[in-house]
Amino acid sequence: MEEAKEFLQLNKEEAESVSRLTIHPHRLGFQCSFYEDFALRGIRVDSVQPGFVSCTFRVPPRLTDKSGNLATGAVANLVDEVGGAIVHVEGLTMNVSVDMSISFLGTAKLN
C-alpha cells in the first residue's frame, strides 16, 4: 500500500498544476459527470430493443491496463453504466438493486 501511495504522490510542479484546475460542480440530470464522461466517452449505441441494448466501443488508451488491454475495472464500469441505462425510466427514481456477474473470457486490446 505504501508503494502505491508513493507512486501516486505528486511532486511540487504537479501539485501546482492540479491546484490551478477549475472543477465546476456537477449539475445532476443536466450533464455527464467527469466520471461518466471519462468512462463512457466514445461508446456508440447500435441497437435498442425492449430488454436489449447493443453497443460498440473502441478501447481508448485511458481505459487500458499496463498490458494494453481494456482494464477489468473499466469493463465492470461499462457493464454497470450500460446496464443501469437499460432499467432507467425517464421521470422515475432509480430505487433498484442490480446483481451483476461478469465473466472475463478474453481481452479487448487498445483500439
Task: Indicate the pLDDT class of residue 43, thresholds 50, 70 and 90.
Answer: very high
Per residue in 68-95, pLDDT tens?
999 999 998 888 888 777 766 677 776 7
Residue 58, pLDDT score: 94
CA distance readout (Å), 84 to 32, 45, 60, 70? 14, 14, 22, 20
**pTM of the full structure:** 0.63
Average pLDDT over residues 35-57: 87
Residue 74, pLDDT score: 92
- Cα separation, 93 vs 44, whole angstroms: 25
Residue 88, pLDDT score: 67
Residue with cell 473502441: 58
71 contacts 63 by C-beta, under 8 angstroms? yes
